[in-house]
Amino acid sequence: MHKFFAMACCLLSLTGSAHAGGESSAPPPTPPAVDLSTVPSTADVQPKNPDATDHPVRARLLAENTSVAPGGTARLGLLLVQAENWHTYWKSPGDIGLPTDAVWTLPEGVAVTQHEYPVPQRFDQQDQVSFGYENQVLLISDLSVADSVAPGTYPIRVDVSWLVCLTSCIPGDATLSMDLIVSPDEPAATPYAPLFPHYAAQHPTAVLDVETFAVETALSHSAIQPNKPFKAVIKLTPTGADTLEGVTADALWPTMTPVASSYDWMLNGATLKPTGDGGLVAILEGESFEPDPLPKTDKIGALFQVKIGGEWVRTEIYVPMPWAAADTPVMESTSPLWSDQGSADAAQDTRAAPEEDSTPMGLNLFWAFLGGLLLNVMPCVLPVLTLKLYSLVEQTDINAAEQRVAGAAYTAGILASFWLLAAAVIILRVSFGLDVNWGFQFQYPPYVAGLTVVVFAFGLSLFGVFEIPTIGGNQAMNASAKEGPVGYFFTGVFATLLATPCSAPFLGTAVAVAFTAPTHILFLIFTMVGLGLAFPFLLIAFVPAMYRLLPKPGAWMESFKHLLGFTLVVTSVWLVGVLTSQVGNGRAVLFMYELVAIALGCWAFGRMAGPGKTGRQTLAGLGVGLAIPLLAANWLVDLEMDTTPVCDDGSVAAEMSFEESVPWQAFTEERVAALKGKTVFIDFTADWCLTCKANEKAILETKPVRESMRDNGVVPLKADWTKRDPVITEWLRRYQRAGVPFYLVLPADPTAAPIALPEVITAGMVMEAFKEAAGPSAG
């Protein structure tokens, strides 16, 4: 509906004296001359106007190569050649215009991406500013062919529509088709192949590939609500000695061109100003409509064209835009980017906000390493820690070189996992507009379910239900059942999978910096966390004296191995509990039946495969072992998030009893506001955080702490982050925390600074914070 609204606005803007023509910016480079005579007639369309004259645009569908291999990729292009002085439009047309639209019809196994736009020209006529292309433009899409597609010829079709303008605007459309040749042979270039690199060179550089400046972004609110205004801020800071050239506050073009390509909101304005450190700050103002349903992901941003060190950098930068229903509480941002602007929209809670973190980067890297080191003793990692110790004890007779290989492989598994996690954070933030924090993957039921399967199957192997084949070792190591380098690598991966829901001391602050830092800083901090996690085993591997301190192998190890199996079963139960809180009791019970099917499949594999079996028997056992749980999953596995509303009227309990347990109330910003003048304790927790659960059981729920809450008039609130919650995420970020556990005491005096407690707490520490926050009036 909003698309038609936008189109109506466009048509209204064309009435009167507003024209689409006028002065343009400098033209783009002249495209190379190519022979288009061989383009098939079905892929070369010259539309006609209603009066039978030629339409101003001629459309062609071009391929860069003559064929594409199964499992390969190729480039297709929509070439729009316009009559003199006419122009079509960019993805964000400006005051008037519409972007070019393409709808593909493709054979099974073939996919085409949305077309890329080159950097546009600017057109200005009587204060009507638009962005697009004169003469001609090639809109490039990437085509991919699945491995399963057999060689042959396949028809593909695209329905293209556009708006072309001079002093008036005319819509146009064309249906273009051609044959796609799938062949394993080396493809040849088509006569028009030179157009593809020419126009690809005019595409903006991916922001992740820009090294000359760092990017910081913030949205004015934790989420966008229907029919509400909002703002986004983007800051560019040079990473070297060079500064951004020619940035002025009185002219946006060409430095910043806002991108407003969504029909769920409209752009109201944009401002730009240089900063004292040679960078710039851009602020975009928008207003939302009332989409139904609400978008799952959205973004606002701009094309930046800046000159630094004598070189032009052109890149598109976006700010994620999560949406929330009109009746859902949202929070204004406290990002330093807003306070730097002196913005009235910089949100302040009724309680005092913490000061901005100014920790030197070197110290943050040290905290990251120390936090990763302490992860080894967190409850999340203990199962893997004992498994690795068992493996080391089992192989105390390996030589020094093999010890070093083992330590290096284990470390490589950890670092590879952390790098993959960092890449996922960047992709989710930049490409999908998601606001993610430490342990974010545990908020997704498929990840929790997958990890449960891995842990449960690993536990069954320790009970001897089946044996995991040794991979990557030499024949002698395989013969003696010793773990090869690949086995050590995947143990490191396993350790990382279980470590990421935990937040150790010193880790929270460093990782919080990483989640708001440029890409290279995020990767550097994650690398230090990984090195800290791997350090104990690196020490054992490279210091022979440490290795010799390990106990000698013996008959006791079989019983110890079974005991480790029970620790993994306990871990599986914990993960099923996490899944229950996410998908609901019914779906969780069905998933437990799926675990029974997995156990049956592992048993079948153990009976049919393993030592002494032929390769054919092993493959048959693997097939049966996989078939049983996969077939059962069709009936049993449903990992959709439970969206049953929680009954909570938002009121504050008049009376609370601390006799048996802490009378937790759900955290909401409305409750925090209603409790102004009272001491409030907020437990930021999650079901998947074992450190959180250990602290709650061993510290918070003990009688002395409960009595301290009662005596100091503390109101306890629980902020449950088991599922994604943008409000809780923003509160964690406000206090420079990247994940849970986090404990916050809001004093009765609204002008007093909040008391933030560390991840690992003691009863005395908590009770002292309650006493300090309550002040002398506590009774």
The answer to whether residue 598 sits within a structural domain is no
Do 58 and 93 fall into the same domain?
yes
Number of domains forming the structure of the chain: 4
Q: CA 176: distance to chain centroid?
A: 36
Domain residues for the domain of 537 are: 361-442+469-554
Q: How far apart are CA 521 and CA 511, in angstroms?
A: 10
Distance of CA 515 to the CA centre of its chain: 10
pLDDT of residue 671: 87
Residue 656 burial (CB < 10 Å; 0-12/13-18/19+)? middle
- Is the Cβ–Cβ distance between 172 and 120 less than 8 Å? no
In a shared domain, residues 322 and 420: no
pLDDT given for residue 711 in this prediction = 93
Residues 294 and 194 in one domain: no
Same domain, 393 and 511: yes
Domain termination site, one of 136, 171, 200: 200
Residue 185 sits in a domain whose CATH number is: 2.60.40.1250
Do 306 and 398 belong to one domain?
no
* Residue at which a domain ends, from 135, 166, 200: 200
Q: What DSSP assignment string belongs to 706-768?
A: HHHHHHTTEEEEEEE-SS--HHHHHHHHHTT--SS-EEEEE-SSTTSPPEEE-SS--HHHHHH
Statement to judge: residues 270 and 371 lie in one domain:
no
C-alpha distances out from residue 671 to 428, 674, 713, Å? 31, 5, 16
Q: Is 601 within a domain?
A: no
d(CA 87, CA 155): 30
Q: Which contiguous run of DSSP H or E holds residue 153?
A: strand 152-165
Looking at the domain assignment, is residue 237 inside a domain?
yes
255 and 193 both lie in a single domain:
no
Q: For the chain, count helices (H), then strands (E).
A: 20, 25
What residues are paired with 63 via a beta bridge? 76
CA pair distance 151, 185, nearest whole angstrom:
10
| Distance separating alpha carbons of residues 35 and 53, to the nearest angstrom | 25
Residues 120, 192, single domain; the answer is yes
Same domain? For 137 and 235 the reply is no
Three-state SS string across 747-761, please?
CCCCCCCCEEECCCC
In a domain, 454, yes or no: no
Q: Is residue 615 part of a domain?
A: no
Are 58 and 82 within one domain? yes
Query: DSSP readout, 234-287?
Result: EEEEESSS--EES--TT--TTTEEEE---SSEEEEEEEEEE-TTS-EEEEEEEE
42 in a structural domain: yes
Are both 320 and 228 inside the same structural domain? Answer: yes
Q: Give the sign of the dihedral formed by CA 98, CA 99, CA 102, CA 103.
A: negative
The answer to whether residue 612 sits within a structural domain is no
Q: What is the DSSP string of 551-569?
A: PPP-THHHHHHHHHHHHHH
Residues 282 and 231 in one domain: yes
φ/ψ of residue 401, rounded to 5: -65, -40
Residues 318 and 320: their CA atoms lie apart, in Å, by 6
Query: Contact, 99 vs 50, CB < 8 A?
Result: no
- All residue ranges of the chain with pLDDT < 70 are 1-26, 126, 261, 339-360, 378-398, 429-439, 468-484, 499-518, 547-548, 550-551, 553-554, 610-613, 643-654, 776-779
Find all residues with CB under 8 Å of 444, minimum gap 6, and list them. none
Q: Could you say which of 487, 519, 554 is where a domain stops? A: 554
> How far is residue 29's CA from residue 467's CA, in Å, rounded to a whole number?
63
Q: Is residue 59 part of a domain?
A: yes
> Domain containing 728 — which CATH number?
3.40.30.10
Residue whose structure tokens are 């044996």: 467
- CA distances, 241 to each of 213, 217, 520 (Å): 10, 22, 18
The tally of CA atoms less than 13 A away on the side-chain side of residue 292 is 3
Counted residue by residue, the chain has a size of 779
Cis peptide before 50 (omega within 30 of 0): no
End-to-end CA distance of the chain: 59
User: In this structure, what CATH number is given to the domain that contains residue 259?
Assistant: 2.60.40
